[in-house]
A and B are shown apart, each in its own frame.
Chain A
């Protein structure tokens, strides 16, 4: 079945460092891919998305490119801030999922001043 695998955390960075959080997926068909973010004590919110191969999703300085050849959707940011500290979830939505979003296990990012 469809699945999403994220790099294990926590990821600890200094402010202004470059961020990469790896995400790979397994799916039949042509899924849509998402990154969701959960700030401390809050629910999840959509960060960015890509619906087809080679699409790049971007928001708040974060980017991720849908790579079908490597089945990946890595999240990147050029310069992180303390306020980016959160848990990041990669997710997949595909035609075989009957309307369900499949989440990765989440990666905690801690940014220190």
Chain B
């Protein structure tokens, strides 16, 4: 099946710093990628849809200036958490749908801990 890879798998940073998470599609081209945030009690929240060559589409309540998404190529989308605070600590997961039929392939996830 299609492979989506995230990096880093975990990161610890100080409050106020920015952190970048990369999401790559390794064996297919992805014009669209999805960024999710997973809270401690499992629920998966769609943050934004990343669109290659154009602006990301953010879900209601997600701060676009806080969570910067860039999709500069057909195989790479990045999520930058700017001026991170402890409440941003979470598990961030990216995914892509190469078939266009809802069959998402997920990255391994990136656990962010902000001290």
A binding-site residues for B, Cβ under 8 Å: 32, 34, 36, 42-46, 49, 51, 87, 89, 91, 93, 99-101, 103, 105-106, 108
Contacts and interface: CB of A to CB of B under 8 A. Distances in A.
A32 B101 CA distance: 8
Given A100-B49, A105-B42, A106-B44, A43 B107 contact: yes
Contacts of A36: 104, 106
Contacts of A103: 43-44
Nearest to B108: A43
B95 to A, nearest CB: 8
Interface of B: 1, 4, 6, 32, 34, 42-44, 46, 49, 93, 95, 97, 100-109
Contacts of A87: 42
Contact of A43 (B49, B101, B103, B106): B106
A1 to B, nearest CB: 11
Nearest to B110: A43
A34 B102 contact: yes
B43 A106 contact: yes
Contacts of A45: 105-106
A46 B103 contact: yes
B104 A46 contact: yes
Given A32-B101, A87-B42, A99 B32 contact: yes
Contacts of A89: 44
The 3 closest A-B pairs by CB, nearest first: A93-B102, A106-B42, A43-B106
B32 A44 contact: no
Contacts of B95: 43-44
A105 B102 CA distance: 18
A52 B91 CA distance: 33
